Structure 1
Amino acid sequence: MFKTEKRKYSVIGAGCGGLVIAEHLASKGYDVSLYNRSSNRIKLFRQKGYNVVYGDRTKNVRLSYIGTDISSAISNRDIIIVVITANGHKEIAENMSPYLKDGQIILLIPGRTCGALEFEYTLKQSGCDADVIIAEANTLFFVARIETPNTVIVKGVKKTITVSALHSADTEYVLDKIHNDFPQLIKATSFLETSFGNIGAIFHPVIFLINKERILAGESFNFYTEGVTKKVAYFIEEVNHEVQNIATAMNTSVLSVKDWLKSRYGLKYTDIYTMIRSNPVYK
């Protein structure tokens, strides 16, 4: 499907991650469409665009298409980037399956755990026979927060991100098409590496479970700093060891949490508690 003229992107999901990725691509001169499942979230964007803040710079973003019609969003798009929570992957795959065309690349950012595998399975179950490539990254490119309904603040950019096509023979092709736009991407050995490298599957449940009473009581606190006590850090490391053992048994490998934090954010190598709580993008 790739043509001689500049390729076209579609971004699926108008959360903070999707909004920043769409801006990043639009700023490079690409034709970018943005799809969201609910209309309330994007109503203001369609009228006035939205803002992305990088330090002291604010960019107003206008895209070629912003809407809830997935057919319009992905039609004639070379690369489709899915930036939604993992529990929405199945629904999105079902909805886009009738409209996919041969040669399109679908990139899940992130795929979380086996996202690309579920996506391909769902497409097949939905009767999609388009010859598409499905790939997944193991984390988001940007650390961002929604400040107001139409403003996103970028707090940091990750230095390295692993990516793999579901069928690893396709990974080099995917990287060849998108590496100039996302230079922090590096090749993973397989989707097992990106899936077991899902750091959110370690951080999020551990921090949530140990802070459950605070959350149920309605207490307001910073999830990644105030929520990470030395006890939480201990259990993060223990869960990480279990994940590494499982990955080894599956003939793949993943970084330790400390190595992940150092490689993604350039943090000084120390203990998990200190590294998480001192990370400026988490504050």
Structure 2
Amino acid sequence: MKVCVIGGGHGSYAAAAELSENNHHVSWWRRDGAAFSPLVERGLLDVDDHRGHRQVRVDGGDGIQVFTALGDAVSNAEVIVAPVPAFAHESLARELAPHLRDGQVVYLPPGSFGSVVFARAVRDAGNHADVAFAETGTLPYLARKHGDTRVVVSGYATRLPTGVFPARHTDRALGLLAEVYPAVERSEDALSGALMNAGPIIHPPLILMNAGPLEHFPSWDIHNEGTQESIRRVTSALDAERIAVREALGYSAPHFPLADHYTADGDEWMYGNAAHEKLTDSGDWREDIDLTTHRYMTEDVEIGLALLSSVGRWASVPTPVADGLLALAGAVTGRAASAGSRTFESLGMAHLDRPSLQRFLHEGFHQ
């Protein structure tokens, strides 16, 4: 299949490598094209995972083809995979919107309800292409870049609950995506997919309750020393709020409770059983986290957690833990964390009643 990968982060490097190794025709674009220079000049991407070390060609022949123009990169793609942070969605959506065509599927892993942002950008660009936007609850990879030409993948997703916007395209979109990511599983719609996002549940308690060591030590592993029982209890309470919101909206199980991420004997989570140990054993998450600029704050708190809180308000479901974490985050950063760009209010959806929301999620924007 012809697949375009967008972005230059950890997930994009892992996606380009895996999809090329799986015999897909991969085009690759990132906004800072000059940053690709070391990789293009070398012509090889080093990959390390549970299978060992190997190299993937980046040469435009049988290997990954790097593009400098976004329109050229996506022109022939059937599926466009964009593992970029949610705070980059608005600008990327505007750039991408004029280039999309009928039948394409844009995959946002994870999305934080970015499907609506991309679909709105297509409408605002005057592009009448009928495009499906899909999003899931996590990156397909536990991955970290090591320099410009190497990526280490500690784990691969085994289950990817995925919702589609508009939901009328679900069968077609998931059919294509399953050829690229066989782990995809059907969620009811894009909001259901957004409410599977694990980042806004895992990361806000970990960074805010580890604020002292994060600021004191040159590096700190929030997933190893930073994951203590008291913090896990907060995470569990926050996840219970997420599940309560999903249930109030009529979404069915499995809800992928985060507790399964931490156990070896529960239901299989998105990265399989004992995924937490794979992550901590790698050592790649011992890092320097700036509480005001790191994506755990700018993406998972100010976008993802703010979205959850806003949907709770809309559905009249109390979310006191989410609201409290947002208040703490605002005190830390000096920004209004609860008023992010992805709330129902900021998306212009807070006025919708339940039937109107369901129609919107199924039909999308009217051209």
Is this a same-fold pair by TM over 0.5?
A: yes
Q: What is the correspondence of 1:194-209 to structure 2 with a 5 Å cutoff?
A: 194-209=193-208
Please list the CA deviations of residues 28-82 of structure 1 after superposition, one character each: whole Å capped at 9, or x if unmatched: 3222111111134311112113211123231233153324421121122221111
Provide the rounded CA distance (Å) in 2 between the counterparts of 1:230 and 1:70: 46
CA distance in 1, matches of 2:166, 2:90: 19
Match of 1:126 in 2: 125
- Structure 1 counterpart of 2:258, one-letter code: V
Contact 2:49 2:153 in 1 (8 A): yes
Q: CA RMSD in A?
A: 1.9
The correspondence of residues 73-152 of structure 1 with structure 2, limited to 5 A, is: 73-111=73-111, 113-152=112-151
Partner Cα separation in structure 1 for residue 34 and residue 212 of structure 2: 32
Quote the offset at 1:165 in angstroms: 1.1
Aligned to 2:269: 263
Q: Cα–Cα, structure 1 residues 218 and 72, in superposed 2: closer, same or farther, change >3 Å? A: farther
Offset, 1:84: 0.4
Q: Report % sequence identity.
A: 24
Corresponding residue for residue 19 of structure 1: 13
Matched with 2:162 is 163
**1:54 counterpart residue number:** 49
1:183-227: per-residue Cα shift (whole Å, max 9, x none)?
111111222221111110111111111111222234312121122
Contact in 2 for aligned 1:44/1:150 (Cα 8 Å):
yes
Amino acid at match of 2:56: N
Would the aligned equivalents of 2:21 and 2:56 in 1 still touch at CA under 8 Å? no
- 1:3-18 to structure 2, matched below 5 A, reads 7-18=1-12
- Where does structure 1 differ by over 3 angstroms across 4 or more consecutive aligned residues? 259-262
Which letter maps to 1:74? V
Conserved? CA contact 1:13–1:35, under 8 Å: yes
My pick for the range that moved more, 87-96 or 39-48, is 39-48
Tell me if the contact between 1:45 and 1:66 (Cα under 8 Å) persists in the aligned partners: no
8 Å Cα contact 1:51/1:61 also seen in 2: no
Native 8 Å contact 2:36 2:148 kept in 1: no
How far apart are the structure 1 equivalents of 2:240 and 2:151? Answer: 35
Return the TM-score normalized by structure 2.
0.68
Return the offset for 1:260.
5.0
Residues matched between the structures, number: 268
Shift of 1:180: 3.2
Which amino acid in 2 is paired with 1:31? H
- Residue of structure 2 equivalent to 1:28: 22
Whether the 8 Å CA contact 1:107–1:134 is kept in 2: the answer is yes
Task: Provide the C-alpha distance between the structure 2 equivalents of 1:188 and 1:260, rounded to a whole number of angstroms.
Answer: 19
CA contact (8 A) 1:197 1:255 kept: yes
The residue identity in structure 2 corresponding to 1:263 is W
Mapped contact 2:136–2:197 kept (Cα < 8 A): no
Letter in 2 for 1:38: D
Question: Match of 2:55, as an amino acid?
Answer: K
- Runs of 5+ in structure 1 lacking a partner? 1-6, 269-274
Instruction: Report the Cα distance in structure 2 between the residues aligned to 1:93 and 1:106, rounded to whole angstroms.
Output: 10
Moved more, 239-248 or 174-183: 174-183
Higher mean displacement: 193-202 or 37-46: 37-46
TM-score (norm 1): 0.87
Distance 2:273 2:20 in 1: 30
Deviation per residue, 1:96-139 (Å, 9 max, x gap) = 1121122211111111x211122212222233222211111221
Aligned partners of 1:214 and 1:63: how far apart in 2?
A: 43
Residues 17 and 83, structure 1, Cα contact 8 Å, conserved in 2? yes
Partner AA of 1:89 in structure 2: H
